[in-house]
Amino acid sequence: MAAGTKKKQEKGKTLVIVESPAKAKTIEKYLGANYTVKASMGHLIDLPKSRLAIDVDHDFEPEYITVRGRAKLLKELQADAKKADLVLLASDNDREGEAIAYHLRNAIQAKTGDTQIKRIVFNEITPVAIKEAVTQPADINEALVNAQKARRVLDRLVGYNLSPLLWKKVKNGLSAGRVQSVALRLICEREREVEEFIPEEYWTLDADFKKGKSTFTAQLVTWKGEKPVLPNEKAVNELIDQLKQTKAVVVDQKESEKSIRPKPPFTTSKLQQAAANRLGFTSKKTMQIAQQLYEGVNIGNSRIGLITYMRTDSVRISQAALEDVRKWISEHFPKDLPKEAISYTVEKKAQDAHEAIRPTYVTYTPDSIKEYLTRDQLRLYTIIWERFVSSQMNPARSKTISLDIACGDGIFRISGSKIIEKGFYRVIKLLSSKEEKEPSLPNVSVGENLEIVKFYPEQHFTQGPSRYTDATIVKTLEEQGIGRPSTYAPIISVLLERYYVSRSNKQLVPTMLGRMINDMLVEYFPNVVDVGFTATMESKLDQVEENQVRWPQMIREFYDPFIKRVEEVQQSLESYKGSLDEKTDFVCELCGKPMVKKLGRFGYFLACSGFPECKNTKSIPLAKCPRPGCTGDIVARKNKGRGKEFYGCTRYPECDFITHYKPLPINCPKCGQFLVEKYDKKNGTHKACINPDCDYLHSADEEVGSEHDGED
């Protein structure tokens, strides 16, 4: 009797399966006792890692298996499903989420047979959204599943055919990915531009002017009616000598006003860019924290998803959200509420499957919930909240005043802006703009004479192209139509994990290994790493999702010429393996045999040719030690404690020369010592001579260290 009662009580229950335990924990609080919420922990069924598992002769049908280590969890979910009357698959509302739901449905049906299985989707994890979703169950979206399947198959065909080729021809353990290889190409091409750029010296001239007790600084903007050309210190000093003989008079004053429109709420790429620029977050960190905010945070006694789904390329906002934010603005900043809601244009290439990223409840201001969030959660939530609320407020207005001061044939100019109508800036703190921070101008009029106090000549060097950062590579990928919101962060992570790219001062720098892989792919598989071709493939995947293209047909068009090319290269390409080991003039100090230059995971190094009998290795000399009389070489080293790289003399401790700047394979044309690559916030990345007494591309305030603050 008891067993029968128990079975009767269990019937009528609904099993909800989500992707993560955090999401399950949040949703469980919203649903009643008749609901059980479990987590699948992502994909339970996928392609095997050890083989291709794609039937290329029969419509590229993939062979799926239970992911290793996930069989127990799958059995538990199947058992839970048997006890339930209804199973609701609530994985993420995107291609990957739909594929997870599809495989779960098939696996559960195989064991339960008659259990009803439905799909639910939602854009935010709030009580209202979840309760509404469970009342609107639907079927699996087969088109979405096919789009995910097509991407998975496409990437598998590229990776599993190119990687063995790299093992055979270049080096064991290498791999190549379809979209990552395009990103690597962009980074390598930018690096080549950086290296080829030769900086040119130029000078600017500022001057302090005084009226009464007020002193202010202006910059020389024209000389004899043209932009001043000051190529060196001699030229600027000659100009100063002429200016000292003149008087300063205010000759023009201009005022202008401009309207500053608020920006639309965040898409995934724009959030990653803003978090990188404003908060210093990597794309991976941004998405990890956004996931936490989306899945749920404990706010007092309740648990709430604080933001909407964080993988989106749309700036669309729901009507309910618009009404909520307009109500909040009307209560707190009524003068800055537009008569009509502001609408933003969704880009043509956007899939528009989700709303923009926004707070689920605008009443949860950053200040009101800061005690419940970690520092990083609060900072990311703040920029999301500010961007959303400000997007529905009036534009700001700024006034710019510029003064022109004549000194003989020269015109000095000072400009200043100030906000005269704050508008949407009233809610912005972390995202505040330069317009708010400009200094105010002195109170002077046209015709007034000013006292020239002092001249400030300043040396500069022209800046070459900047290396990509997380923010700029994501921006470029988005603009070129490569990747999608869910792939931007993984693209960067994969390149770093494979050590094809490293980070330096937040910049993405290709390694020797990355450059070698890129050179080979560009030469032999130009289509695979072509930006336009990859963007076209992304567009075709979107068409699969929209049921406009059959995915096997799309794959066939790519695969047949691709695999033919792979076979040609397999036959014709000579192995790079022998060429990677270069003979050198260095002799092993342990056994006396010559040393060879080898390419390892972290770049080139020297290894004894007597391997495996002699396993001696050492760093490759990058330059000759610049200390007078020293015969040592400069090599890369690392501190024991922090693992931070620096460059020091091989004759340490006899010679204690070090520098934290990487030596370049370029000698200074003035003094013969080597050039280094420097970085600072003011000048960015630039080249300079290592010799502090040499002025070639060198700033006087930068000096080379001589104390050894670490040992290798």
Active site residues: 309
Phi (first) and psi of residue 157, to 5 degrees: -65, -40
Beta strands in 261-362 (DSSP E): 297-299, 302-304
User: What distance in Å separates the CA atoms of residue 213 and residue 211, rounded to the nearest whole number?
Assistant: 6
Packing angle between helix 127-134 and helix 21-30, nearest 10 degrees? 80
User: What distance in Å separates the CA atoms of residue 607 and residue 586, rounded to the nearest whole number?
Assistant: 10
Phi (first) and psi of residue 558, to 5 degrees: -80, -45
User: What distance in Å separates the CA atoms of residue 485 and residue 645, rounded to the nearest whole number?
Assistant: 34
Per the omega criterion (within 30 degrees of 0), is the bond before 653 cis?
yes
Contact 343, 318 (CB under 8 A): no
Please spell the DSSP secondary structure of 108-148, one letter per residue. HHHHHSS-EEEE---SS-SHHHHHHHHTS-B---HHHHHHH
Phi (first) and psi of residue 389, to 5 degrees: -65, -45
Contact 459, 435 (CB under 8 A): no
Phi (first) and psi of residue 348, to 5 degrees: -55, -40
Q: C-alpha distances in angstroms, 261 versus 79, 273, 389, 512, 628?
A: 55, 19, 13, 45, 60
Beta strands in 544-696 (DSSP E): 582-587, 594-600, 603-608, 617-618, 623-624, 633-638, 645-649, 658-659, 662-667, 674-680, 684-689
CA triple 493-499-500, angle to 5 deg = 90
Token code pair at residue 170:
């270049």
First vs last C-alpha separation in the chain: 76
User: What distance in Å separates the CA atoms of residue 319 and residue 338, rounded to the nearest whole number?
Assistant: 16
- Classify residue 278 by its DSSP letter: I
Element (H, E) at 159: helix 142-169
Nearest to 83 by CA among 19, 27, 35, 30: 35
